[in-house]
Every structure is written in structure tokens, then in C-alpha cells.
Amino acid sequence: MFSGASNFVEGVDTAFAFIFGVSAFFIIAITAFMIYTVIRFKRSKVKNPKQFRGSVTLELIWTIIPTILVLMMFYYGYMGFAPMRNVPDDVMEVEAIGRMWEWEFVYENGKSSKDLVIPVNRPVKLNLKAEDVNHSLFIPAFRVKEDVVPGYDNYMWFTPYYIGDYEILCTEYCGMLHSAMTADAKVLDSAEFEQWYADLSQQKEEEKPEGFEITKSNGCFACHSRDGSKLVGPSFKGLYGSENVVITDGEERTITADEDYLKTSIINPNQDVVKGYNPGLMQSYEGVISDEDIDKIVEYLKTEK
Amino acid sequence: MESTQATNHVSYLQHKPHKIGILNWILSTDHKRIGLLYLYSIMVFFIVAAFLGLLMRIEKFAPGETIMDAQTYNGVFTVHGIIMIFIIVIPGLAAVFGNFFLPILIGAKDVAFPKLNLFSWYIYIAGAILALISQFASGGAPDTGWTFYVPYSADSSTNVIWALTAAFILGFSSILTGLNFIVTIHRLRAPGMSWFRMPLFPWSIYATSWIQVLATPIVGITLLMVIAERTLNIGFFDPALGGDPILFQHLFWIYSHPAVYIMILPAMGVVTEIFPTFSQKPIFGYSAIALSSVAIAAVGYFVWGHHMFTTGISYWSRWFFSFLTFIVAVPSAIKVFNWISTMYGGSIDLKPPLLWAIGFIFLFMIGGLTGLVLGALATNVHVHDTTFVVAHFHYIIFGGMGFAFFAGLHYWFPKMFGKMYNIKLANISFIITFIGFNVLYFPLFIIGLQGMPRRYFDYFPEYQYGHVISTIGAFILIIGIFIMLFNFFRGARKGEIAPANPWKGVTLDWQIESPPTLLNFDEIPVITEKPYTFKKEEEA
Ligand SMILES: [Cu+2]
Ligand SMILES: [Cu+2]
């Protein structure tokens, strides 16, 4: 009856239609009956109302009929859902990584992308990984959503039916920029996809110091840019060795961003708050990142010129 | 009984043993004064939280930053949720009308433990103040949402601990009040009042109290565990410390789903009192209504998993929780049919309390039926954590519990204060509030179905029309509520003197003076017949 962007649309929308149909009928019928009752039995018309107290037959009727209807709703819901956990064998697997506040999709050949690029008409399975807090991957057009929880191996699958771009949203609250944690699902025809997939030229990134990877996997880039632009926090570009005004215990002072300062900024960010930024946004990474790794991050920060 | 005859009696409001005015309130163990203490505190917090809600709506008027930044927005929706849920809706009807009318309706002079009752209010206030502090203290407002999901709540550098402690303390108030009511109902019913001669509001309070006593400790412990996680680095829930984040969600919803019934059961109880009075006809299906409250309370414990359908919980548990969720919907439907049948064939007087109660049925129906969309697996996957859910629970909690609260206030106001509000103004405020409510929340169903997630500071332009309509609704709603509050304040100060029984009710609350005397009854009544027995006009 319904068709849409993925193989699940039909089942899900059938369940919607059934539940909404039954609900609309009851809302309209009951409301109309209430209005009729209030008008028909106005106090000015009825002086001595009959004093009946109930009816077993009626109680049975309105227990049994709703029970049957809700069991049917359960059935439709179940039928639309069951295939979602039943992954076919010939799927293409992609790792979907959620971190504050971006998605990353990693393919079997090592290719990584900010958008989910997939071929049309081929089942895709997303293996969901969270690097920090809970997220949830939602593609409204495909009617799929699964939570991305650290420490858990959740998954989802679907077959896209049409070529086009679809929104991917994060639907589990994950902190400040939760609403910016979006991406695109780009459905291509197979030839185009193969071409994109085989092209690994973008992947050969310049040699990065070890600290870069640590910084990246801790989600620092969600708040700190590398190109000088201001995000939630100040950019890392040219940070090392620069002179900054910070507020310490309500007093303004000027510091030079040396190794010690950078370390304190990571371990105890609210001690010296950079002027023009709010305290309390950056959490302390003490105990979260080992001292060794913090040193590596600082080494890396020195290279951001 | 006319109130002029009451002159030789001293009402509870005139009973002032202390010289300093305020002491008559904060040292009083009278269940009626404690009910009013809750009423006033809840009113103040309601205005604060509603204002936060309005700020959120204004922010959403346009995509991107409108009046506040993302971090502020996250704090605002968190504190809005914490205040509304833990400080207003959970104590809500039970604390205000349960305290004031439970003893009266069962023919008692007070609750079983009056001092404990006052103490519960102090605990409540302590928790409430702590929650307010969490908003303003130096670390910044908590930004986890009222659900405190770990790992985020273990990581966030804002005042999460303050908020957790506040919710923990408020839980104690809830447990003690529940305990008090259970004992009161068991021990203090008037002679002759068997369980099935008890009016239905006390029945609903009874079911609610058991949930409060049994479920609240679970969330209390859970919140303590998060505090321990944050302060002592013990890995209960945070995977970075070796914990299990899904365990938190289970524990949280094992309490928080039954908590929905803590909110809604007393609301159902209130409207159950209103329909017979304004139809001059016994409640239809007394035992069906009484037992369905108990059924809801019992089955309601086993459906928490429907909040977690997308977390990756097992295939079979999704199946099981969905099935039970549908089963628990049936008792609510039974109640709706019984309320309407109570009106059918009656002599209906469409006064403000009945108007609010009918509004309650309409909104509660929409809230309940959209709940079925969330209970069905396939549809849940699509609308989970979208504004569809936000609309659904506002229809249940605000449209249901909130409207029933206002219905109860209009119903019992003349009894509580011995004065009458302006009926015409009350009708106007109902109509404005009702329209505003639907304009505010209905569009959220639509954009939720389109895919608009909840707790989103920013959104894509295709959802803007829904947000704009919704924000307009918020303003209409606020106007309606302020007219209502104004009407109450004016009524309490210079309204007409209310007769003892303005609505011709037959429950015990209407057989005593307005306002009641300190001990409610001169002589404890003896109950000889079923509740809701109306006499013919001539006999009366
Ligand atoms: Cu998110
Ligand atoms: Cu629930």
C-alpha cells in the first residue's frame, strides 16, 4: 500500500495507518457522543435523572473490543518491526561511529566519510559504535533508528530504494551540539558508488603525530577548530606560544600558552577561562585521558601553527 | 447547611494558635493547611517552569540561535523538566487534593501521621530549593535532560550533582506521603465505610500511594549511584569506568514509567468525583473504575522497556514490553467509557469543573491513543525521541494531569476557601487554555512524524512552520492560565461567600461546612450506603 525510500517504509506506515485510523475513529465518535450527551441531558431538560449504576454487559463489551483492537495494533507493530532485526546475508557492512558531535562512516576497505554513501537497492548493515556518550542514528525517510551506546554492539540494516540525499539525525541527547550532529545518507547508483568506493585518494592524510589521533578520538575537535575559526572553544591554530587573556578566580591576566598552561587547560579547564568563553563547557579530562596521552596531545598542539 | 450557620464554628483558616501569621502555616499539622502549603509551593514552581517552557518555545521560533545559545537552551529544558516532573507533577494532585480531601472523603479528622505529613512538606521544600540552586550555582545549569542518562550525566561539568541530590530528596517526600496515605486509608475510614463504599478519589490515591512506596526507592538508589560514579569514580554505568549505560536506563524507567501513573491516577480520581456530581447520577461502573486503578498500578510495573525499544535490547524483550504496553492501555479505556456513561442520562450542569473534566477526557484520549503509536514496535522506532513523544506526554501529563488539577481546583475551590470564583471568567479561561494547549502541542505530533527530534536547539527549515504555530500556541496558553489564576486570586479575596454545597454533591466533602472546621466533622459520620447515592429532588 505504501512505498518509500527503504524496504521498511511499507510495514511501518501500514502500522501507522491502522493505529491512526482506529484512534481517529474513537476520538471523533467519543467526542461527538460527549457533546450529544451534554446537550441532550442538560439540567434544564432533565430534572430527575435515572439512578442506574452500571451494566456488566457494557463493561464486558468495552473491555473486549478495545483488547482486540490493541492486540491488532500490537500485531501490525510487530510485523513492521520484525524484519528490522533480521539481517540478510548479502549485506554491505559499514561501521557507523558516533562521537560528540559528528558521525563517521568507515567502510570495509578503510575508506572513511562524514556522510553515509551507499548504493541503491543493496542491503546495508550499519554496525553502531559510540566513542563517548549515547547517540542514536535516525534516518526518518528510511524509518530506521537505533541507539549508539558505548560498550554495546548495536546494529541496523535497510535497503535504500531510490537515489537521492536523505537526512541523518542524532536522536539521543548527547550534550551541547546534539542538534548539530547531522549527516547525509547519499544513495548513488551502483556504478557511481563503486567509483566513489574505489577512490581512496582523499584518505591518504598527511603524517599526523600520535597526539592528533588521541585528540580526535576524544572529540576535542567538536569544540576546537584547526583552521582558526571559533567554535565552542578557541581554535587550536597558533595556540602554542601565543599570548592570551584568561580569567582566573574572576581576575583577568595575560598568560603565554606554554606546555604547563596547555596541560592545566586540559586537566582543569575551569581554572583559567579564556576571555570571551564560558566556563563549565569543557569538562575536565583528568582520569579520562592518561597523563601520557595528555603529554602527547600537548606535543601535537605544538604542531598546529 | 448554609454557611451563615457556621458562625458558631471556627473554620480551619480562622484557627490560628500562633501569634505570628506564618507560623500558623509552617507549624500546622492540619492536613488541609498542608494541602494548601503544597498548592502554593506548586503554583510558584509551576509559574517558573512554565516560563522556562515559554523561553524554549521562543527560542524555537526560528532555526539557529534566536534568544539563547545551545548550552543555555539545554539547561533550560533540563530544569524545566526537573521542576515539572519532580516538583510539580509527581507530588501534584496527591499532595494537594490527597492531603486536603482524602481524610474528609473517608470521614477522618486528619491523616494517620500528621507530623510526618508536615515533615514531608519540609523535605519537599528542601529538595525543591536544591533544584533551584542547581540552576543558578556556579557550574552552570544541569544540561542532561531530566532523564540524567549516563554516560553524559557522568561527564557533564555542570551542576548535575545538585540536581540529582534534589531529585533524591524529593523522592523521600513522595515515599513518606504515600506511606501516610496508605495507613490513613487502612485505619481511618469512618465506621461503615467498607472498601467498596469508599469514594473513588481515595481509591485512586490508594493505588498511587503503593506505587510511590514501592517504586521511588529504585530511582533514589539509582541517582545515588550516579552521584557515587561522579564523585568516587565507581563504574556503575559509565563504560569509561567499566560500567553499563543500559543498566541505568532500565533502573531509571523501572521507576519513571510507574511514575507516570503516580501522576495520572489521582487525576483520574478527581474527574471521577466530578462526573457524578454534575450529572446528579451515581458513577457508572464503580468497581470497574476502582479495580482498573489497581490493575494499572500493578501492570504498570512491567512495561518500562517501551522507553528503550531502540537501545538494542533483545528482540524478545522488545516483543514482550510492547505486548504488555498494549494490555495496560485497556483499563484506561474502560475508565473513559465509564465516565461518559455516568453523564449519559444524567441531569447535566455544564459548570467550569465539568468543562475542565470533559476537556481532560478529550486531551487524555489523544495522549493515550498516541501512546499506542509509541507502544507498537514498528511505529515506535520511527517516532521515538522525536517531538511526537514530547507532544504525547504533554497531552497525558498537562492535558491529563494538569487539566484534572484545574478541574479539581474549580470543583473544590468553594470548599477550600469558602468563597466562589467568577463562573463566566472561569469558562473564558478554560476556552483560551484549551485552544492554546492544542495549538501548542498538536503541531509537535506532525513535525515529529516528519522526523523532528526532541531536545534540539536547532532544526532544519522544513520544520519551522510547526515550531512557529506551536510557539503561538504557547502564548495563548499562558494567557488562559493567567486569567484562571487571576480568577482564583480574586475569588479567594473578594469572591461571593460560597454555600456549603454549591454543586449538590453527595460525598462527605459536601456535607460539612465551607471552609471545613479544624477537625472537619463535629461527629464522625456513620456510612450506611454506597457512595454517589443521589436522592430525588422532592426527597432532598
Ligand atoms: Cu545527539
Ligand atoms: Cu512508560
- In the 8-state DSSP scheme, what is residue A182? -
Cα B72 to ligand 1 centroid, rounded to whole Å: 16
Q: Which ligand has the minimum distance to the alpha carbon of residue A177?
A: 1
Q: What is the 3-state secondary structure (H, E, C) of B451-464?
A: CCECCCCCCCHHHH
CA of A292 from ligand 1 middle (Å) equals 30
A1 has a pLDDT exceeding 70: no
Query: In this structure, what C-alpha cell is assigned to residue A211?
Result: 597526539
pLDDT in tens, A105-128: 999 988 899 999 999 999 999 999
Under the phi-then-psi rule, with left for phi > 0, alpha for psi from -120 to 50, and beta for the rest, what region is B140? left
Which residues on chain A are in Cβ contact (under 8 Å) with B373?
A: 16, 19-20, 23
Q: What pLDDT does A161 receive?
A: 94
**Residue B300 to residue B373: CA distance in whole angstroms:** 17
CA distance A34 to B365: 13
Element (H, E) at A187: strand A183-188
List chain A residues with CB under 8 Å of B365.
26-27, 30-31
pLDDT at B8: 56
Which residue of A10, A178, A289 to mutate against B (max B Cβ within 10 Å)?
A: A178
Percent of chain A with pLDDT over 70: 97
Query: Taking residues B69-78, what's their average pLDDT?
Result: 90
Residue A237 pLDDT exceeds 90: no
Residues of B in contact with A54 (CB under 8 A): 284-288, 338
Residue B514: phi and psi, rounded to 5, are: -115, 125
Q: Please name the member of A47, A76, A288 whose beta carbon is closest to the beta carbon of B376.
A: A76
Inter-chain residue contact B145 with A138, CB threshold 8 Å: no
> Nearest ligand, CA of residue A137?
1
Q: Which residue has 498494549 as its cell numbers?
A: B326
B369:A27 CB<8 A: yes
- Residues from chain A that touch B162, judged by Cβ atoms under 8 A, are none
Lowest-confidence segment of A191-200, B409-418, B466-475 by average pLDDT: A191-200
Residue B405 to residue B420: CA distance in whole angstroms: 17
pTM of the model: 0.86
Put simply, the answer to whether A281 touches B536 (Cβ < 8 Å) is: no
Residue A203 has pLDDT above 80, yes or no: no
Q: Is the pLDDT of residue B352 over 90?
A: yes
Over the stretch A139-159, which tens digit does the pLDDT of each residue have? 999 999 999 999 898 999 999
What is the average pLDDT across B130-151?
A: 86
Q: What is the mean pLDDT of residues B5-33?
A: 81
Instruction: Report ipTM (2 d.p.).
Output: 0.91
Residue written as cell 511526537? B388
A19 touches chain B (CB under 8 A): yes
Angle subtended at Cα B104 by Cα B103 and Cα B110, rounded to the nearest 5 degrees? 40
* Among the listed residues B351, B514, B497, B496, the one whose alpha carbon sits nearest the alpha carbon of residue B426: B351
Chain B: closest CA distance from residue A191 (Å): 30
- Contact list, B156 vs chain A (CB under 8 Å): 175, 283
Neighbour-count burial of B94, counting CB atoms closer than 10 A to its CB (0-12 exposed, 13-18 middle, 19+ buried): buried
Q: Across the interface, do A49 and B279 touch by the CB < 8 Å criterion? A: yes
> Pairing relation of β-strands A124-130 and A243-248?
unpaired
The whole-number pLDDT of residue A275 equals 80
Q: For residue range B292-309, list pLDDT tens digits in order.
A: 988 888 888 889 999 999
Phi, psi at B101, each rounded to 5°: -110, -20
Give the pLDDT of residue B498: 92
pLDDT at A226 over 70: yes
What element of type H or E holds B194?
none
Set out the domains of chain A in order of their start, with CATH numbers. Answer: 9-85 (no CATH), 92-198 (2.60.40.420), 210-301 (1.10.760.10)
φ and ψ at A139, to 5 degrees? Answer: -120, 95
On whether the CB atoms of residues B264 and B400 are closer than 8 A, the answer is: yes
Q: What share of chain B has pLDDT > 70, as a percent?
A: 98
Query: Tell me, what's the pLDDT at B7?
Result: 47
CA-CA distance, B540 to B537, in Å (whole number)? 5
A-chain residues near B361 (CB < 8 A): 30, 34
CA neighbor of B441 nearest in space, from B42, B49, B53, B143: B53
Predicted pLDDT at A227: 73
CA B472 vs. chain centroid, Å, equals 25
Q: What is the mean pLDDT of residues B104-113?
A: 94
SS3 A122: coil
So what's the pLDDT on residue B99?
95
3-class SS of residue B300: helix
Task: Say yes or no: A26 contacts chain B, CB-CB below 8 A.
Answer: yes
Q: Is the pLDDT of residue B539 over 70?
A: no
- Give the separation between CA B236 and CA A189, rounded to whole angstroms: 46
Residues of B in contact with A80 (CB under 8 A): 376-379
For the sheet containing A92-99, what is the strand order?
A: A112-113, A102-106, A92-99, A124-130, A154-158
Out of A231-245, A290-304, B429-443, give the one with best mean pLDDT: B429-443
Which candidate from A23, A41, A67 shows the least CB-CB separation from B343? A41
Between B453 and A223, the higher pLDDT residue: B453
Phi, psi at residue B65, to the nearest 5°? -75, 120
Selected residue of A50, A99, A148, A149 to mutate for chain B interface (largest B Cβ count, 10 A): A149
pLDDT of A205 over the 80 cut:
no
Task: Give, to the nearest 10 degrees, the angle between helix B352-375 and helix B403-417.
Answer: 150
Q: How far apart are CA A194 and CA A115, in angstroms?
A: 16
The pLDDT tens digits of the residues spanning B422-471 come to 999 999 999 999 999 999 999 999 999 999 999 999 999 999 999 999 99
d(CA B35, CA B266): 14
Neighbours of B235 (CB within 10 A): 14
Residues B277, B504 contacting (CB under 8 angstroms): yes
Contact A278 B536 (CB under 8 A): no
- Residue B2: the pLDDT is 42
pLDDT score of B472 more than 90: yes
Q: Are the beta carbons of B309 and A172 closer than 8 angstroms?
A: no
A179 and B454 within 8 Å at the Cβ level: the answer is: no
Query: What is the pLDDT of chain B when averaged over all its residues?
Result: 91
Distance B75 CA to ligand 1 centre (A): 15
What average pLDDT does range B240-253 have in this prediction?
Answer: 90
Q: What cell does A142 get?
A: 528510511
In this prediction, residue B16 carries a pLDDT of 84
Bridge partners (DSSP) listed for residue A126: A94, A156
Domain boundaries, chain B: 27-511
Amino acid at B175: I
Mean pLDDT of chain A: 89
Residue in chain B nearest A177 by alpha carbon: B70
CA B37, B38, B40, B41 dihedral sign is positive
Q: How far is the CA of B149 from the centre of ligand 2 (A)?
A: 16
- The whole-angstrom distance between B482's CA and the closest CA on chain A is 27
Report the DSSP beta bridge partners of residue A157.
Answer: A125
Across A200-204, A250-254, B116-120, B203-207, least confident range? A200-204
pLDDT for the residue numbered B3 = 43
Q: What share of residues in chain B are helix, strand, coil (percent, to 5)?
A: 70, 0, 30
Choose from B200, B310, B533 for mutation: most chain A CBs within 10 A. Answer: B310
Cβ A300 vs Cβ A237: under 8 Å: no
The amino acid that residue B418 corresponds to is G
Q: How far is the CA of B81 from the centre of ligand 2 (A)?
A: 16
Could you tell me if A268 and A284 are in contact, meaning their C-beta atoms sit under 8 angstroms apart? yes
> Average pLDDT of A254-273?
86
Gap between the Cα atoms of B480 and B35, Å rounded: 24
Please tell me if residue A270 touches chain B, with a CB cutoff of 8 Å. Answer: yes
Evaluate if residue A214 carries a pLDDT over 70.
yes
Chain centre distance of CA A19? 26
Q: Which residues of B touch A143 (CB under 8 A)?
A: 378, 381-382
The count of other CB atoms within 10 Å of the CB of residue B218 is: 18
Is pLDDT of A229 > 80? no
Q: How confident is the model at residue A206, as a pLDDT?
A: 55
Please tell me the distance from the alpha carbon of residue B263 to that of residue B400, in angstroms, as a whole number: 9
Q: At what angle do helices B286-299 and B315-343 cross, to 10 degrees?
A: 160
Tell me the mean pLDDT in the region A226-230: 73
% pLDDT > 90, chain B:
75
What part of A 166-185 touches B (C-beta under 8 Å)? 167, 169-180
CATH number for the domain running over B27-511: 1.20.210.10
B207-229 per-position pLDDT tens digit: 999 999 999 999 999 999 999 98
pLDDT tens profile B356-413:
999 999 999 999 999 999 999 999 999 999 999 999 999 999 999 999 999 999 999 9
Mean pLDDT, residues A157-175 taken together? 94
